[in-house]
Chain A
Amino acid sequence: MFRTLLAKEFREQWRTWKMIVFLAVFLITGIISPVLAKYTPEILKSIPNLPAGLADFIPAPTVADSVAQYLKNTAQFGILLIVLLTMGVMAQEKERGTAAMLLTKPVSRSAVVLTKWLTGMTIVLAGLLVDGLACLAYTVVLFEPLPFGAFWTMNMLLLVYLCVYLTMALLASTLARSQAIAAAGGFGGLVVLLVLGSIPRVSDYMPGQLVTWGSSLVLKGDSTAWPALGVAAGIIVLALAIACLCFEREEI
């Protein structure tokens, strides 16, 4: 049953172009991040009528800029795409009536939620793989090789970070009866996490710290964010459990 549901989810993501769009955006992000890091200073310098001497203050690009661009772009585009693509996965099934058709068959409701989550996670993982490989390749060409192990560890932290948003969007989609409400819930959760992440002290415990930790790993810094990792894992497990429990109890 789980295998059948999972196969249907992957097939749906592929046939409805969602997976392709996701991977394409991540590939583009992986390519443009090092390119932007390399050429932004040169673009700035080429602006006509730049005040004399200002060009000297624009620093020469380094590999750190490439990593920073990669983290910033992947996190931003990733979160936006994840929320957009996930907000409908459960709400749409309820709204269109396909959930009612499915749930009259011998399937576990939790399995329905979990297969959707697992599909989303696999696509995000594949996206990061494409994104990371493109970034590695372009950084080698434009700057210097990145530490391979640290770079992929950073990507694993990024995966956990994106997974928080994926699970929150899935929870919103499960609780909502329509896509519009799911969208409002998904973006609402996003805003709450971003606002909390900007409050000093509180931000140390927020998933956003995982991005800083990842950057530090690659650039040989010494910051860690174990509490943030714990909080992220907690949010993921809790949101997934609430989604399963609520869907188990919901009347369709």
Chain B
Amino acid sequence: MIRIENMVKTYGPVRALDGLSLNVEPGVVYGFLGPNGAGKTTSMRILSGLARPDSGRAWILDKEIGKPGSDVRSLIGVLPEEPAFYGWMTPREYLRDFVAPLYNIRGRVAARRTDELLEIVGLIDVANRRVGGFSRGMRQRMGLAQALVHRPPVLLLDEPVSALDPAGRKEVLDLIETLRGQTTILLSTHLLADVERVCDVVGIIDKGCLIVQARRDDLLSSYVTPLFEIESEDGFGHWLEWVEKQAFVTNVTVANHTARVLVKDVHKAQKPLLESLARETLSVRRFELVHPSLEDVFLRLTKKEV
């Protein structure tokens, strides 16, 4: 569905893409993960026709990008990281009178689709308000709406929820989930939580190269380190000595009334940890199984590569 082969792109001395190759199967939500500057946005820009690679090739639905007579733009919906709009337009005007006609959707069909999308992204109440006064979150929702106007088979979403509040983030991720199966989605993000929530397949990119590509569950089980965070009001006392001796524990660190306990197996560790805390009658404020940040997974991966 989406294929990139050996793509290189340089900006002066910076090698933004350094032989990137990836393959996205039809109907999947592909999480394109990587830290800032890894090459995610450059890849998205090339796929959406805004930039050209120095070398390498890319295809969307078997149409080669950048090849004369092979315009993929009617097949894709693109949401850039910072969607921008004409401040003097209203969302309804932008979608109905500008975006929809560019895809040959006009008249009543355009009006119906516009209202449907504004309802979905939660902007129907401000449909006739000028975009100029919109918050970043509202612009991001509108960006998603404009990417969906023509029901594209492929969606390229660059950090689609990074500007949203938790409620907005949930709504957008729910929306992305509803598109699973019908639309192939390439979603770039630096948030592991988003990937865990909606992505079927994950590709991790760093320094313009794909480090790993795997199904989400496989990746999480391979690289995630089980970690418990325990916060106690009055320290941990003897409990620390006890926990360090346990066979299921690999490492313990304490900072600011919080103990971070790395374990080998979550299921084997959870019960004895809770029981020991109750036994010591510590004033536990928080006991949490922490998911590692992308940085944790990422550092482990790059370490492996080295």
- Are B50 and A97 interface neighbours, CB within 8 A? no
Can you name the residue of chain B whose Cβ is closest to the Cβ of A96? B84
B-contacting residues of A (Cβ < 8 Å)?
1, 3-4, 7-8, 12, 15-16, 96-98, 100-101, 103-107, 251-252
Contacts A97-B83, A101-B84, A106-B71 hold; do A7 and B97 have CB atoms under 8 A apart? yes
- Are A97 and B82 interface neighbours, CB within 8 A? yes
- Asked whether any CB of chain A lies closer than 8 Å to the CB of B203, the reply is no
Residues of A within 8 A of B146 (CB): 101
Residues of B within 8 A of A97 (CB): 80, 82-84
A103 to B52, CA, bound (A): 13
Count chain B CB atoms within 10 A of each CB in A8, A97, A101, A106 and give the residue with the most: A101
Give the contacts of B72-122 with A (CB-CB under 8 A). Answer: 73-74, 76, 78, 80, 82-86, 88-89, 97-99, 101-103
Can you name the residue of chain B whose Cβ is closest to the Cβ of A107? B102
Residues of B within 8 A of A252 (CB): 45, 50-51
A7 to B97, CA, bound (A): 9
- Asked whether any CB of chain A lies closer than 8 Å to the CB of B48, the reply is yes
Residues of B within 8 A of A1 (CB): 101-102
A15 to B88, CA, bound (A): 7
Beyond contacts A8-B98, A104-B80, A107-B102: 14 other A-B pairs, Cβ-Cβ < 8 A, are A4-B102, A97-B83, A98-B84, A98-B86, A100-B84, A101-B83, A101-B84, A104-B78, A105-B73, A106-B73, A106-B102, A106-B103, A251-B45, A251-B51
Residues of A within 8 A of B82 (CB): 97
Residues of A within 8 A of B78 (CB): 101, 104
Residues of B within 8 A of A8 (CB): 86, 97-98
- Are A104 and B102 interface neighbours, CB within 8 A? no
- Asked whether any CB of chain A lies closer than 8 Å to the CB of B49, the reply is yes
8 closest pairs, A vs B, by CB? A97-B84, A104-B78, A4-B101, A15-B88, A251-B51, A104-B48, A106-B73, A106-B74
Residues of B within 8 A of A104 (CB): 48-50, 73, 76, 78, 80
A85 to B73, CA, bound (A): 31
Partner of B88 from the list A7, A16, A100, A106 (CB cut-off 8 Å) is A16
Chain B nearest CB, measured from A99 CB (Å): 9
Contacts A251-B52, A252-B51 hold; do A105 and B84 have CB atoms under 8 A apart? no
Chain B nearest CB, measured from A48 CB (Å): 51
- Are B98 and A4 interface neighbours, CB within 8 A? yes
- Are B71 and A101 interface neighbours, CB within 8 A? no
Residues of B within 8 A of A106 (CB): 71, 73-74, 102-103
- Are A100 and B50 interface neighbours, CB within 8 A? yes
A98 to B84, CA, bound (A): 5
Count chain A CB atoms within 10 A of each CB in B76, B99, B102, B143 and give the residue with the most: B102
Show 29 A/B contacts (Cβ-Cβ < 8 Å), sorted by A. A7-B97, A8-B86, A8-B98, A12-B86, A15-B88, A97-B82, A97-B83, A98-B84, A98-B85, A100-B45, A100-B50, A100-B84, A101-B78, A101-B80, A101-B146, A103-B50, A104-B49, A104-B76, A104-B78, A105-B102, A105-B103, A106-B71, A106-B73, A106-B74, A251-B45, A251-B51, A251-B52, A252-B45, A252-B50
Can you name the residue of chain B whose Cβ is closest to the Cβ of A17? B88
A101 to B50, CA, bound (A): 10
Count chain B CB atoms within 10 A of each CB in A3, A96, A100, A105 and give the residue with the most: A105
Chain A nearest CB, measured from B12 CB (Å): 13
Residues of B within 8 A of A251 (CB): 45, 50-52
Can you name the residue of chain B whose Cβ is closest to the Cβ of A102? B102
Chain A nearest CB, measured from B198 CB (Å): 22
Residues of B within 8 A of A107 (CB): 102
Residues of A within 8 A of B88 (CB): 12, 15-16
Partner of B85 from the list A7, A15, A101 (CB cut-off 8 Å) is A101
Residues of B within 8 A of A16 (CB): 88
A15 to B87, CA, bound (A): 10
Can you name the residue of chain A whose Cβ is closest to the Cβ of B48? A104
A147 to B73, CA, bound (A): 54
A16 to B99, CA, bound (A): 20
Can you name the residue of chain A whose Cβ is closest to the Cβ of B146? A101
Residues of A within 8 A of B89 (CB): 15
A251 to B45, CA, bound (A): 9
Can you name the residue of chain A whose Cβ is closest to the Cβ of B74? A106
Residues of A within 8 A of B103 (CB): 105-106
A12 to B49, CA, bound (A): 26
Count chain A CB atoms within 10 A of each CB in B83, B86, B97 and give the residue with the most: B86
A10 to B49, CA, bound (A): 27
Partner of A100 from the list B73, B80, B86, B98 (CB cut-off 8 Å) is B80
Can you name the residue of chain A whose Cβ is closest to the Cβ of B104? A1
